Amino acid sequence: MGMSANKFGTAPVFFTAISTILGAILFLRFGFAVGTVGFWGVILIILLGHLVTIPTALAISELATNKRVEGGGEYFIISRSFGLNIGATIGVALFLSQAISVAFYVIAFTESFEPLFTLIREKYDIDLPRQVISIPSMALLSLLILRKGANVGVKALYVVVVILFVSLALFMFGTTDYAEYNTTNIFVDQFRNGKQFFYVFAIIFPAFTGMTAGVGLSGDLKNPSKSIPIGTVAATVSGLIIYCFIAYKLTTSADIDSLLNRQLVMGDIAIGGWVIIPIGLAASTISSAIGSFMVAPRTLQALAMDMAFPTAKINKWIKRSRQKDNEPYNASVITCIIAFVFVAMGNVNSVALVISMFFMVTYGSLCLISFLNHFGSSPSYRPSFKSRWYISLVGFIVSLWVMFKIDTLYALMAFVVMVIIYFYLKSYHRSRKGFESIFLNAIFQLSRDIQVYLQGNKSNSKSIGKEWRPSAVCVSESKGDVNHAVNMLNWISFKYGFGTYLHYINGYYSKSTTDEASKELNELITSFNKVDNHVYIDTIISPSYTAAISQALQIPGIAGMPNNMMLFELVNNDSKMGRRIVENIPLVNAGDFDICVLSTDGSEIDYKKEIHVWIKSYDTDNANLLILLSFIILGHPDWRHSAIRIFEICKEGESVQTKQSLENLVTNGRLPITTSNIEIIEQNEDISSRSIINNRSSEAGMVLVGFRTETVKHSGTDVFTGYELLGNIMFVNSHSQKVIE
């Protein structure tokens, strides 16, 4: 795309930008602004406006020097940073703004013929509509661009820029009778009509926009990474300086009444102003129109190249270029049609507000991209021109703030229109990802900073025992749709804790095992992400299960806090799995970990059934952890129709005291367990606790029972057997007593 010779240098970027900046608003409304809010009010407007435009100019200069900016300019940068769907959403809005801007400038161009309209009205009593000038002007401009393309547009640009600067020079050197006797000192000039500040700002702000207009020529430049920064920044700074001088000249050369009521008050001040200022207005508006006319079709063509429109046929037609000079001819035709419609309407004041909103969205997006690239710190982000992250952040924030200050309704309308465009694009481009790596890079950096911060405060968090929360890790070979270990980690992780599931692959670390691990991980992530998954899933390659456990115990927790719980899985009382768990419990216990053994029969869990917690009076260390885990599991939506029932087995004659103690614990801990769901069972020496649990909890959805590591040393896997009537049971060992308060 673009000119076949790519022969443009820096000058067209500068002239396109400066001619768009020094446009219609300068000649038509700047005097009104000075008359309304005074010199310092206008200076404040200029400075506030440039809090948007300067960061944007620096941001786009930075982005343009990182990678080659291809055709489409701003759209190309945004789409390659935010992804094609979001990029195309902003790109469509940007194109419409650029196309309607052509009409806006042509209508403003007709104001340079005000002396002619006045003469005809006074002499012939005919009030001609502005369209008698604007429509033929639009036709001539269209003919020029369609026949000659960007090349003649650039040549015409040089001519009108010369006229523009000559008219401004004659204005600065002009004088008036008022200036002769005016003794106003600008340093004591009052700030007037503060309540109208943002009203005036809304009128004047478009005067500062346009600094990115030259970026739209990116596909036609010899060296975009050099031309765009120099041209854009130079135009923005030049515009700032020129506007300050014009505000000073207007303040010292015309009285307030003239400033407020004479639309072309600059003509009263300039040397030969009656002719040079209308010519300057014509030059500025037609140059701005040419600038927009050169840029808009290139944005549209870039959108079509990214298949932004519904059918391949439409995209193919729009992106087609003219063979002889590679001009985006069809896109130019569409731009002409849109511009003609709005020129014929004659009044685009309301549309101009929407245009401003879309431009502000574009500027804010460019600043945000620059900020995220600074924050994300990707090694591939190496621009030769660098802005500062805080400048880009200021530009983004001020862009949003200014949008709502200009007009809240139109700002909301702009966002609504863009949301509609986005969902429409997404409807036929479902395969495209919403965000690109720019967001991932920023998230990676943020995650790193949070982890380091938490590590630095780890000593403080360890000392606060009452703020315990589970951070569980599980090493398992299980696969399949029903994976209760992952489900348990998900229940723990949903609201109060953190879970890491490591799929164990037996073998030595090699090319083949890493390939296998990568394949397994993708399958697991795809499988578990079908549900609302909150577990971090990974693989671990190790020559033995014990080595894998040892590795897992040493990995950092995903939340920045160390892991503090190991979850083992025992399916169908498999003897091999049981022995492996027993062998590794001492290893886990050495690391100060709580231990959970989830024993299941592999069947689906009925979440409507109760969660039963069994506490033994001689096993007080496990009691609080059992209760806390039941509360945490119940917090998951899967268990929303369930309830917790606590059973405590005590010695004969101790039931009253035991119940009172347990009720106090539940009440003071504000746990969602009613006293009617607390039951104390006095154990008869002839009946084992296993028999009691089997008898009372056979209909439970999940059963939690405490166990002691000392018992495992003596009884081995027998600790986890003998509960054949229970479907799903979790054995819990607390390394230290947890606090419930």
Can you give the residue ranges of every domain in the chain? 10-428, 458-733
Output 648 or 375, whichever has higher pLDDT.
648
pLDDT at residue 463, as a whole number:
43
- Cα–Cα distance, 132 to 113 (Å, whole number): 11
How far from 316 is each of 196, 309, 358, 502, CA to CA, in Å?
Answer: 49, 10, 26, 48
Do 226 and 12 contact (CB within 8 A), yes or no?
Answer: no
Report which secondary-structure segment, H or E, holds 475. strand 471-476
pLDDT at residue 224, as a whole number:
72
Give per-residue burial for 99-131: e unless 16+ CB within 10 Å, then b: bbbbbbbbbbbbbbbbeebeeeeeeeeeeeebb
How buried is residue 172: exposed, middle or buried, by Cβ count under 10 Å (0-12/13-18/19+)? middle
For the chain, give the mean pLDDT: 83
SS3 248: helix
SS3 181: helix
What CATH number should be reported for the domain whose range is 458-733?
Answer: 3.40.50.12370
What angle do helix axes 131-173 and 10-21 make, rounded to 10 degrees?
Answer: 100
Angle at 246 between CA 243 and CA 252, to 5 degrees: 145
Residue type, 99: A
If you average pLDDT over each of 207-221, 287-301, 448-462, which comes out highest? 287-301
- Cα–Cα distance, 530 to 49 (Å, whole number): 48
Residue 446 has pLDDT above 60, yes or no: yes
For the segment 603-639, what is each residue's pLDDT rounded down to a tens digit? 888 899 999 999 987 777 898 899 999 999 998 999 9
CATH 1.20.1740.10 fits 10-428, yes or no: yes
- Cα–Cα distance, 558 to 526 (Å, whole number): 20
Sequential DSSP letters for 275-298: HHHHHHHHHHHHHHHHHHHHHHHH
In this prediction, residue 697 has a pLDDT band, given cuts at 50, 70 and 90, of very high
What is the arithmetic mean of pLDDT over 308-333?
85
Output 354 or 585, whichever has higher pLDDT.
585
What is the arithmetic mean of pLDDT over 58-84?
76
